A and B are shown apart, each in its own frame.
Chain A
């Protein structure tokens, strides 16, 4: 059953997505406002798909739990139950539990049934409670009340029991059609607002009947609920067929006749070719996703299946590598083309220009395949903030902006942990308790902002809060206590950077949220490992902002090729401020070091040859080119022999076959096949020259 394992994988992936969908919708749900039926429908559908899918694979723990959940959601979307904040919390906890169970099934770890049972009980009890409370509060019609009670007790409790019984009944194929027909009718009813109450009532009654005895409805319902793998393939497919119908009915109950005909087709297909079962299964899961976005349109166009495909990342990585090689070959051709004879030179040039454009487009297209919106990472934070603020009894709102900013897939996975740390930090240490905020004259509700944007070749992510700000005194005391050497001079920026030192935490008390001081140094390490930088801005009483800058992609870089001592180097374009040919009068000397006076600022000069290979290499600066470069921490002028031009280069790792080299970010292959080093502006200069730089800052400041 190799096929089966493949579909299992599929199920795990999709279930994961469904769970995330549910979480997102629940987090967005406003318990105080008008019930958002559309959102509830989406959550319901997601729960339902998981239930269906898990049942197919015999994951009883998931099926049971989602069934109870589904009941609750069903009453909510039929407006018989109002989702309160407490209810949402329980639902979110259930989603967490489902995630654990899903993982257990995936890793084939024993399921903790006690946990599952208690999860179910918890759900049921809140449902019951909510019903009791709301029944008293809102005087409902008798029909509704009856229905609610049933939802709370009978339907759930029996959830599993009856549907095992159903499987037996399900073998009876003759009754299928009636069963289904009935069911469809019921759904159609429930979608129609006028018939809402009756429709639902009917549904509940039906359930009751099922519990009591067998009947026509019995089978119908059974089919809908069941699709157990242990059954014969035929049953499976029939069960399945119905399941799918059900989804479609849900989406667009407007065309019942259409479904009626499909319904007839499905079971027979299943009977003839067992393999078709699995295919249909996948289809349904996909179709189920689409309505979230497209709504009813999804049901009309079957083509939505082919709108996206899943591809292994390895394949994409290979494509990216190949495109890298193509870029190199293309620049190789450019080089040869420039030597072409008069007669063909012009044609050659046109063709080469065409090739260059095409190559660039291919490259962009391939890179875009790897790009994901950063909301993939951001979406998990509303939950984090909600849970944390509940736990800390703070009132905090998370504002997310720029979720559609695209970022390389590799970065998406790796940026999640650092961001989690920063947000926890803001929530726990940044935002003050409500009483303190009011005392300070701030609004009671604290705001944590998470903003992503693209600036040039960089992605900038900021995490800011309107909390107390960093406490300079406490940081300094802590640093002394921990024996961390203090920076000199003590600028604000330098003090803030102290919190990134290992083992540093200024929280007065360690909570289980944060404060153990393991986080911040890991944050910086992780970000720097991605080629990014992090900086802090903080104002006492106003708030703290962490700014993370990341490269757009890890594979290709826009660079300036420079020549020095007949060797070619690449300087990342993002670091370059400008390149100048300095005049004698602009060069000053301080402590035997040369400085360049440009744009009303002194720039320390670094001799590239000396920085890379050591020793003394005196150059006549006024005959060289100075490239002014800048990073978050440093700025200086780099002395080189000449500029060769701007070019896109493919970053090749030196570590693959060698090791990391200070001052070098990687290597690339030039058009002629030779290797050029890509300079790492940040680590190129030694700490000595940095000291000088700071002194200069100091001089300018004082």
Chain B
């Protein structure tokens, strides 16, 4: 029984994360929610939408919204050029794209690599953060992308409105 005291550490769940850059900060999100990565293309503006919702695009017949996290959280400069990247996410059976400054790497973190985030420090509200992880000298902010995307604050989905 006591022969394997560290079994939990050895078999700890390793998850893969996609690291992306917003301004000077590096963020990471669960790679399982990533559908594809593509370049920024012109969008169709939507009426009555906040400024960080750039509009919608045609993704092979689906009309999907594009959100610029840089505008929403005030990090980096919202510029659009040929290097601007859109990460297409598939969350709760819905597709959306988030505009980021760049995609850096795929990283492996174990659960205990991710330390709780302090209340301040990241542009994101700590509700939407899983925590912080250190890769060499770099601090990576691990985002709970599902919580962020479905949050009321972002207003991407209709709130419980069954009319």
Question: What residues make up the interface of A, taking CB atoms closer than 8 Å to B?
Answer: 325, 328, 525, 529, 567, 611-614, 652-664, 667, 669, 673-677
Distance in angstroms from A555 CB to nearest chain B CB is 13
| Contact among A567, A660, A667, A673 with B158 in the assembled complex (CB-CB below 8 Å) | A660
**Beta-carbon contact of A656 and B63 below 8 Å:** yes
Known: A673-B58, A674-B58, A675-B56. A658 touches B48 (CB 8 A): no
Show 25 residue pairs from A and B whose CB-CB distance is below 8 angstroms, ordered by the A residue. Answer: A328-B61, A525-B163, A613-B45, A613-B47, A613-B48, A614-B48, A652-B62, A652-B63, A654-B63, A655-B158, A657-B62, A658-B65, A658-B157, A659-B157, A659-B158, A661-B47, A661-B49, A664-B47, A667-B56, A667-B63, A669-B58, A675-B43, A675-B57, A676-B44, A677-B44
**Beta-carbon contact of B63 and A664 below 8 Å:** no
**Beta-carbon contact of B158 and A662 below 8 Å:** no
- 11 extra interchain contacts, Cβ-Cβ under 8 A, other than A653-B63, A657-B62, A659-B156? A325-B61, A567-B45, A657-B96, A658-B64, A658-B156, A664-B47, A667-B44, A669-B58, A669-B63, A674-B42, A675-B44
Q: Is there a chain A Cβ closer than 8 Å to B11's Cβ?
A: no
**Beta-carbon contact of B44 and A657 below 8 Å:** no
Complex contacts, A325 vs chain B, CB 8 Å: 61
| Contact among A525, A652, A677 with B46 in the assembled complex (CB-CB below 8 Å) | A677
A414–B58 CA distance with the chains assembled, in angstroms: 30
A385–B55 CA distance with the chains assembled, in angstroms: 51
Distance in angstroms from B95 CB to nearest chain A CB is 5
| Contact among B46, B61, B157 with A669 in the assembled complex (CB-CB below 8 Å) | B61
A677–B45 CA distance with the chains assembled, in angstroms: 9
Complex contacts, A567 vs chain B, CB 8 Å: 44-45
Q: A-B pairs with the 9 shortest C-beta distances?
A: A612-B47, A675-B44, A659-B158, A658-B65, A667-B63, A657-B64, A652-B63, A657-B94, A669-B58
Q: Is there a chain A Cβ closer than 8 Å to B155's Cβ?
A: yes
Question: What residues make up the interface of B, taking CB atoms closer than 8 Å to A?
Answer: 42-49, 55-58, 61-65, 94-96, 155-158, 163
A675–B55 CA distance with the chains assembled, in angstroms: 10
**Beta-carbon contact of A661 and B48 below 8 Å:** yes
Complex contacts, B155 vs chain A, CB 8 Å: 659
In the complex, the chain B residue whose C-beta lies closest to that of A328 is: B61
Complex contacts, B65 vs chain A, CB 8 Å: 657-658
**Beta-carbon contact of A661 and B61 below 8 Å:** no
In the complex, the chain B residue whose C-beta lies closest to that of A670 is: B58
A657–B64 CA distance with the chains assembled, in angstroms: 6
**Beta-carbon contact of A675 and B58 below 8 Å:** yes
In the complex, the chain A residue whose C-beta lies closest to that of B97 is: A657
**Count of CB-CB pairs between chains A and B under 8 Å:** 75
A654–B42 CA distance with the chains assembled, in angstroms: 18
In the complex, the chain A residue whose C-beta lies closest to that of B59 is: A657
A675–B58 CA distance with the chains assembled, in angstroms: 6
A677–B49 CA distance with the chains assembled, in angstroms: 13
A663–B56 CA distance with the chains assembled, in angstroms: 16
Distance in angstroms from B140 CB to nearest chain A CB is 28
A344–B57 CA distance with the chains assembled, in angstroms: 33
Complex contacts, A676 vs chain B, CB 8 Å: 44
A239–B58 CA distance with the chains assembled, in angstroms: 60
Complex contacts, B49 vs chain A, CB 8 Å: 661
| Contact among A656, A663, A669, A675 with B48 in the assembled complex (CB-CB below 8 Å) | A663
Distance in angstroms from B143 CB to nearest chain A CB is 20
Complex contacts, B57 vs chain A, CB 8 Å: 675
A669–B156 CA distance with the chains assembled, in angstroms: 21
A675–B45 CA distance with the chains assembled, in angstroms: 9
A194–B27 CA distance with the chains assembled, in angstroms: 93
Complex contacts, A658 vs chain B, CB 8 Å: 46, 56, 63-65, 96, 156-157
Distance in angstroms from B50 CB to nearest chain A CB is 12
Complex contacts, A677 vs chain B, CB 8 Å: 44, 46-47
In the complex, the chain A residue whose C-beta lies closest to that of B163 is: A525
Residue among A611, A613, A653 with max Cβ neighbours from chain B (10 Å): A613
Distance in angstroms from B125 CB to nearest chain A CB is 21
Distance in angstroms from A614 CB to nearest chain B CB is 8
Complex contacts, A674 vs chain B, CB 8 Å: 42, 44, 58
Complex contacts, A529 vs chain B, CB 8 Å: 163
**Beta-carbon contact of A664 and B58 below 8 Å:** no
A354–B4 CA distance with the chains assembled, in angstroms: 75
**Beta-carbon contact of A657 and B47 below 8 Å:** no
A669–B56 CA distance with the chains assembled, in angstroms: 11
Distance in angstroms from A122 CB to nearest chain B CB is 42
In the complex, the chain B residue whose C-beta lies closest to that of A675 is: B44
**Beta-carbon contact of A664 and B94 below 8 Å:** no
Complex contacts, B58 vs chain A, CB 8 Å: 669, 673-675
Complex contacts, B42 vs chain A, CB 8 Å: 674
In the complex, the chain A residue whose C-beta lies closest to that of B49 is: A661
Distance in angstroms from A209 CB to nearest chain B CB is 64
Complex contacts, B61 vs chain A, CB 8 Å: 325, 328, 652, 669
Complex contacts, B55 vs chain A, CB 8 Å: 675
Complex contacts, B45 vs chain A, CB 8 Å: 567, 613
| Contact among B44, B47, B62 with A656 in the assembled complex (CB-CB below 8 Å) | B62
Distance in angstroms from A178 CB to nearest chain B CB is 65
**Beta-carbon contact of A657 and B95 below 8 Å:** yes
Distance in angstroms from A254 CB to nearest chain B CB is 57
**Beta-carbon contact of A662 and B47 below 8 Å:** yes
A662–B161 CA distance with the chains assembled, in angstroms: 14
A525–B63 CA distance with the chains assembled, in angstroms: 26
Distance in angstroms from A673 CB to nearest chain B CB is 6
A634–B48 CA distance with the chains assembled, in angstroms: 21
| Contact among A662, A663, A675 with B63 in the assembled complex (CB-CB below 8 Å) | A675
In the complex, the chain B residue whose C-beta lies closest to that of A662 is: B48
Complex contacts, B43 vs chain A, CB 8 Å: 675
In the complex, the chain B residue whose C-beta lies closest to that of A669 is: B58
A677–B163 CA distance with the chains assembled, in angstroms: 22
**Beta-carbon contact of B63 and A661 below 8 Å:** no
**Beta-carbon contact of A612 and B96 below 8 Å:** no
Complex contacts, A659 vs chain B, CB 8 Å: 155-158
Distance in angstroms from B91 CB to nearest chain A CB is 10
Distance in angstroms from A654 CB to nearest chain B CB is 6
Residue among B45, B61, B64 with max Cβ neighbours from chain A (10 Å): B61
In the complex, the chain B residue whose C-beta lies closest to that of A654 is: B63
Distance in angstroms from B86 CB to nearest chain A CB is 14
A614–B48 CA distance with the chains assembled, in angstroms: 8
Complex contacts, B158 vs chain A, CB 8 Å: 655, 659-660
**Beta-carbon contact of B94 and A656 below 8 Å:** yes
In the complex, the chain B residue whose C-beta lies closest to that of A608 is: B47
Distance in angstroms from B43 CB to nearest chain A CB is 8
Distance in angstroms from B117 CB to nearest chain A CB is 29
Complex contacts, B44 vs chain A, CB 8 Å: 567, 667, 674-677
Complex contacts, A667 vs chain B, CB 8 Å: 44, 56, 63
Residue among A657, A659, A673 with max Cβ neighbours from chain B (10 Å): A657
Known: A525-B163, A529-B163, A659-B156. A654 touches B56 (CB 8 A): yes
In the complex, the chain B residue whose C-beta lies closest to that of A667 is: B63
Complex contacts, A662 vs chain B, CB 8 Å: 47-48
Distance in angstroms from B64 CB to nearest chain A CB is 5
Known: A674-B58, A675-B57, A675-B58. A657 touches B48 (CB 8 A): no
A372–B56 CA distance with the chains assembled, in angstroms: 35
In the complex, the chain B residue whose C-beta lies closest to that of A528 is: B163
Distance in angstroms from A608 CB to nearest chain B CB is 10
Distance in angstroms from A47 CB to nearest chain B CB is 41
**Beta-carbon contact of A664 and B46 below 8 Å:** yes
A667–B65 CA distance with the chains assembled, in angstroms: 12
